C-alpha cells in the first residue's frame, strides 16, 4: 500500500522528477502517427496534409478506376479528434456527388464511421470503406433517396446521371460541379 | 472555542490516534495524521455539479483543510434542486467559485480554492501539486483526460521501478439515475479508466442513413436536425450551444416538423434537451451515497488507516439496495497505463543530423526499426520531423533530414514520438544528449 502520509513528507522537500518535465504524447497522436505511417493506399487514393505538423486534419482524394464513378475525382476531409481511436474520425465529402450514400452536404453514410466504429479500425479501414462506396453504391441505405431510387429501378439511368453529374450538370434540382479527373 | 475545536475532531482522533484490529497492518497511529489532513494534504475535486457539491461538503466535514475544485460550468436554474451549495441568486455564476465560497464561509477549517476553467487549461505542474484527486464528473472524456494526465505524471527510475512519490491516486465517482459506482485508481499500480473502458455503456449512435431516410423514433428526428439540418441551415451562424434555449427551441421545432412528416410521436422539448445535451437523470440521493463512499476512500488514501476499496464498487437502488465490489483487472495492453517502459536513446551531441538519428534507430540493437516516422512536441506544439510513408508529408519534411538537432530545436530530455512497423504501437523515446548545445546557450 502506498502510504501517502509518509510519502508526501519527502515529496514536499524533493524537487520535481526529471523525466516528467515534458508532456507525454496523447493517445490520439500516438495512434494517428502509427496509422499514417502504415497507410497502404489503394492506387486510386491520395492524401494531402495542408499542414504537415497537423496530422489530425487532412484531405483524401479518390479517383475510382472502375464502376459507375470511373473517371471522377472526389475529395474528402478528415478530422481526427482527441478521442481517437475511441471515436471515429469525422469525414466529409467536399465534392458534390450524385451518390445514394452521400448527401448533397457531404455527409457520408458508412457504417464504420458511426455505429460500427471500433478502436481497432484504422484510417486505412475508413479509406477502403470510402473507396468501396464508389465501387458498390448501396441503395438499401440511402442518404440521397432520389439517387437510391434511380439506382434501384434503373441502373442504366443511374449510370447516365452519374456521368452527367461528373461532367457538371443539373439532375433534379441540383447542380453538380464538374469533377472529372 | 479551543475546547470546541478539540471536540469537533474527537471521532476522527479515535480512528487516527489509536490502533485497532481493523486497521491496515502498516498503519501507525499518531497525532500527526490529523494535522496532515488539516494542514498539509492538498487535494483536487474535479467537477462542482451534483456529485461535486456532495464531495466538497463531505470532504470539509471529514477534516480536509486544503481543497481545490475545478469546473468550467456555470450554474443553471435546473441545478438548484440537488446542487445544494447554490442559490437562486447564483444562477449564471461559476459553479467552482460559488461552491468554494459557500464551504469557506460555512466550514472555517476548510479552505476551498476554485478554478473556473476547463481541466485541459491546467498544466502538468498544476496537477502534480496534489496528493490525490477526486472526480465527480458526468463525462467519460473528461475522466479519461484526468486519468491520462495522472498516468503521464508517473516517473520511473533507470531500473524501471516506479517512483512512488509521483503516484497521485484517483478516486472516481459516477452516478446515473439510481445507479452509481466508485473506484479507486492508483496510477501505474491498479487498473486505470482506460483499462476498463468497456464498462462504460457505449453511446447510442444511430446509422446516418436511418436518421436521413427511414426515421422511426423521435430520437432519429432530433439527431437529423442536429447532424444534418443544423450544419446546413446554420440558423444562428454558430455551432449548437446546448445551454442556449433559443438553439434548443429551434431544434425542437424542426424536429417536430420532421416527426410530423414521418408520422412519429413523442418529440417534446425535454427529449430534445436530453438527446442534444446527452442528459442523464440525476437523483440527489444517489449522488449523496456515491460521494460519501468517495470521501471515505479519500480519507483512507490520505491517512492509510484502513485498506482501500479494491477497486470497483457498484451501487444500484432502483430495486431494493444492491452493492457489489469487485477487483477490476489491469489490461496488459492498455493504451494508457500498460507499463510502457521509458525508452532512452543516447546521442553524443546536438550537432547530429536527423537522418543520423533515423539511422541509429534502424541499426540500434534494441530498436532495429525499418522506416520510422518521427514527431516531437516543441513549445507545446506538435511538429512532424519526418514521415516516410505519406508522400505529401515526406516531401515537406525531407529538408529536416539534413538539419541538426540543434537547428530543429531539439534538446536533452525531449521525447521523440516514433511509429514503425516493427512495433504494434507508436511510442516515445527520451533523448539523452551528452553535449547539449541548445540548453547551454
Ligand atoms: Zn490502463
**Residue A56 lies in domain:** 40-167
**Above 60 in pLDDT, residue B438?**
no
Task: Give residue B132's pLDDT.
Answer: 96
Contacts of residue B278, Cβ cutoff 8 Å, sequence gap at least 6: B203
Q: Within 10 A of B11 (CB to CB), how many other CB atoms are there?
A: 10
In a domain, A5, yes or no: no
Q: Answer whether A50 touches B (CB < 8 Å).
A: no
Better-scored residue on pLDDT, B145 or A61: A61
In a domain, A160, yes or no: yes
**Residue B440 pLDDT level (bands cut at 50, 70, 90):** very low
**Above 50 in pLDDT, residue B310?**
yes
pLDDT digits (tens, 9 = 90+) for B184-196: 999 999 999 988 8
Q: Find, among B233, B311, B298, B259, the residue nearest to B60 by Cα.
A: B298
Vertex B40 angle, CA B35 and B43, to 5°: 120
Scanning every residue of chain B, which has its alpha carbon at the shortest distance from the alpha carbon of A4?
B302
**Above 70 in pLDDT, residue B431?**
yes
Mean pLDDT, range B51-62, rounded to an integer:
97
**Phi, psi (degrees; rounded to nearest 5) at B227:** -85, -35
What is the C-alpha to C-alpha distance for residues B439 and B78, in angstroms, rounded to an integer?
54
Taking each continuous run of H as one helix and of E as one strand, the counts in chain B are 17, 13
Residue from B208, B304, B379, B436 to probe the interface with A (highest A Cβ count within 10 Å): B208
**Phi, psi (degrees; rounded to nearest 5) at B344:** -125, 155
In a domain, A19, yes or no: no
Q: How far does residue B184's CA lie from ligand 1's centre (Å)?
A: 13
Task: Give residue A22's pLDDT.
Answer: 61
pLDDT digits (tens, 9 = 90+) for B80-115: 989 999 999 999 999 999 999 999 999 999 999 999
Q: Answer whether A43 touches B (CB < 8 Å).
A: no
Scanning every residue of chain A, which has its alpha carbon at the shortest distance from the alpha carbon of B166?
A17
Contacts of residue B88, Cβ cutoff 8 Å, sequence gap at least 6: B77, B80
Which A residues, 57 through 86, put their C-beta within 8 Å of a C-beta on chain B?
Answer: 83, 86
Task: Give residue A3's pLDDT.
Answer: 66
Q: Answer whether B426 touches A (CB < 8 Å).
A: yes
Give ipTM to 2 decimals: 0.83
Q: CATH number of the domain that A89 lies in?
A: 3.10.110.10
Residue from A24, A58, A80 to probe the interface with B (highest B Cβ count within 10 Å): A24
**Residue A176 pLDDT level (bands cut at 50, 70, 90):** very high
DSSP-assigned letters across all residues of B257-316: HHHHHTT-----HHHHHHHHHT---B-HHHHHHHHHHHHHHHHHHHH--SPPP-SEEEEE
In a domain, A71, yes or no: yes
Mean pLDDT, range B146-173, rounded to an integer:
88
In a domain, A154, yes or no: yes
**Residue A1 pLDDT level (bands cut at 50, 70, 90):** low
pLDDT digits (tens, 9 = 90+) for A39-96: 999 999 999 999 999 999 999 999 999 999 999 999 999 999 988 988 899 999 999 9
**Above 70 in pLDDT, residue B161?**
yes
pLDDT digits (tens, 9 = 90+) for B265-305: 999 998 898 888 777 778 999 999 999 999 999 999 999 88
3-state SS record for B106-119? HCCCCEEEEECCCH
Supply the residues of B annotated as catalytic.
209
Task: Give residue A5's pLDDT.
Answer: 59
**Residue A10 pLDDT level (bands cut at 50, 70, 90):** very low
pLDDT digits (tens, 9 = 90+) for B363-400: 887 788 888 999 998 888 899 999 999 999 999 999 99
In a domain, A65, yes or no: yes
DSSP-assigned letters across all residues of B119-172: GGGS-HHHHHT-SEEEEE-S-HHHHHHHHHHHHHT--B-TT--B-GGG---EEE
Contact B90, B48 (CB under 8 A): no
In a domain, A74, yes or no: yes
Compute, in degrees rounded to 10, the torsion defined by CA atoms B406, B407, B410, B411. Answer: 20
Decide: helix, strand or coil at residue B5: helix
What is the C-alpha to C-alpha distance for residues A81 and B57, in angstroms, rounded to an integer?
36
In a domain, A15, yes or no: no
Pick A8's closest partner by Cβ from B131, B209, B425: B131
Work out how many domains chain A is built from and give that number. Answer: 1
Task: Give residue B344's pLDDT.
Answer: 85
Amino acid at each position: 500500500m502506498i502510504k501517502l502520509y509518509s510519502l508526501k513528507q519527502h515529496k514536499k522537500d524533493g524537487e520535481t522528477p526529471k523525466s516528467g518535465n515534458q508532456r507525454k504524447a496523447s493517445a490520439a497522436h500516438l495512434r494517428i502517427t502509427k496509422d499514417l505511417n502504415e497507410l497502404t493506399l489503394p492506387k486510386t487514393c491520395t492524401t494531402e496534409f495542408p499542414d504537415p505538423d497537423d496530422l489530425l486534419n487532412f484531405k483524401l482524394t479518390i479517383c475510382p478506376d472502375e464502376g459507375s464513378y470511373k473517371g471522377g475525382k472526389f475529395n474528402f476531409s478528415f478530422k481526427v479528434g482527441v478521442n481517437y481511436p475511441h471515436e471515429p474520425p469525422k469525414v466529409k465529402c467536399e465534392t458534390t456527388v450524385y451518390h445514394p450514400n452521400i448527401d448533397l452536404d457531404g455527409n457520408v453514410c458508412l457504417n464504420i464511421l458511426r455505429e460500427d466504429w471500433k478502436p481497432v479500425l484504422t484510417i486505412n479501414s475508413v479509406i477502403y470503406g470510402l473507396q468501396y462506396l464508389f465501387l458498390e453504391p448501396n441503395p438499401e441505405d440511402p442518404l440521397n433517396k432520389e439517387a437510391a431510387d434511380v439506382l434501384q429501378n434503373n441502373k442504366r439511368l443511374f449510370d447516365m446521371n452519374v456521368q452527367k453529374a461528373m461532367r457538371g450538370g443539373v439532375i433534379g434540382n441540383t447542380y453538380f460541379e464538374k469533377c472529372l479527373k | 472555542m479551543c475546547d470546541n475545536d478539540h471536540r469537533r475532531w474527537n471521532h476522527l482522533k479515535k480512528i487516527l490516534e489509536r490502533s485497532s484490529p481493523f486497521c491496515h497492518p502498516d498503519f501507525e497511529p499518531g497525532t500527526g495524521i490529523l494535522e496532515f489532513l488539516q494542514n498539509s494534504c492538498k487535494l483536487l475535486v474535479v467537477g462542482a455539479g451534483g456529485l461535486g457539491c456532495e464531495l466538497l461538503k463531505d470532504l470539509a466535514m471529514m477534516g480536509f483543510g486544503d481543497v481545490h475544485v475545478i469546473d468550467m460550468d456555470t450554474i443553471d436554474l435546473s441545478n438548484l434542486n440537488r446542487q445544494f451549495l447554490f442559490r437562486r441568486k447564483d444562477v449564471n455564476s461559476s459553479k467552482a467559485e460559488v461552491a468554494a465560497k459557500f464551504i469557506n464561509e460555512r466550514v472555517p477549517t476548510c479552505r476551498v480554492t476554485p478554478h473556473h476553467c476547463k481541466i485541459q487549461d491546467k498544466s502538468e505542474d498544476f496537477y502534480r501539486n496534489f496528493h490525490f484527486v477526486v472526480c465527480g464528473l458526468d463525462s467519460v472524456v473528461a475522466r479519461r483526460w484526468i486519468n491520462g494526465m495522472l498516468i503521464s505524471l508517473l516517473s520511473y527510475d533507470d531500473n524501471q521501478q516506479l517512483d512512488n512519490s509521483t503516484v497521485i491516486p484517483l478516486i472516481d465517482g459516477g452516478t446515473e439515475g439510481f445507479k452509481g459506482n466508485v473506484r479507486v485508481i492508483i496510477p501505474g499500480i491498479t487498473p486505470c479508466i482506460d483499462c476498463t473502458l468497456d464498462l462504460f455503456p457505449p453511446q447510442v449512435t444511430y446509422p446516418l442513413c436511418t436518421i436521413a431516410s427511414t426515421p422511426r423514433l423521435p430520437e432519429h428526428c432530433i439527431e437529423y436536425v442536429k447532424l444534418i439540418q443544423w450544419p446546413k441551415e446554420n440558423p444562428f451562424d454558430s455551432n449548437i450551444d446546448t445551454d442556449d434555449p433559443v438553439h434548443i427551441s429551434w431544434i425542437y421545432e424542426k424536429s417536430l416538423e420532421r416527426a410530423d412528416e414521418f408520422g412519429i410521436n413523442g418529440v417534446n422539448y425535454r427529449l430534445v434537451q436530453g438527446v442534444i445535451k446527452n442528459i442523464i437523470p440525476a437523483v440527489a440521493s444517489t449522488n449523496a451515497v456515491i460521494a460519501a463512499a468517495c470521501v471515505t476512500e479519500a480519507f483512507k488514501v490520505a491517512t492509510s488507516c484502513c485498506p482501500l476499496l479494491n477497486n470497483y464498487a457498484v451501487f444500484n437502488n432502483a430495486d431494493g439496495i444492491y452493492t457489489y465490489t469487485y477487483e477490476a483487472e489491469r489490461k496488459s495492453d492498455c493504451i494508457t497505463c500498460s507499463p510502457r517502459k521509458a525508452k532512452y536513446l543516447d546521442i553524443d551531441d546536438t550537432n547530429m543530423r536527423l537522418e543520423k538519428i533515423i539511422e541509429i534507430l534502424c541499426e540500434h540493437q534494441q530498436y532495429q526499426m525499418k522506416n520510422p516516422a518521427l514527431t516531437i512536441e516543441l513549445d507545446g506544439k506538435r511538429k512532424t520531423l519526418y514521415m516516410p510513408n505519406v508522400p505529401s508529408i515526406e516531401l515537406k519534411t525531407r529538408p529536416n533530414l539534413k538539419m541538426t538537432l540543434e537547428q530543429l530545436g531539439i534538446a536533452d530530455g525531449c521525447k521523440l514520438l516514433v511509429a514503425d512497423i516493427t512495433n504494434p504501437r507508436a511510442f516515445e523515446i527520451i533523448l539523452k544528449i551528452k553535449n547539449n548545445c541548445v540548453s547551454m546557450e
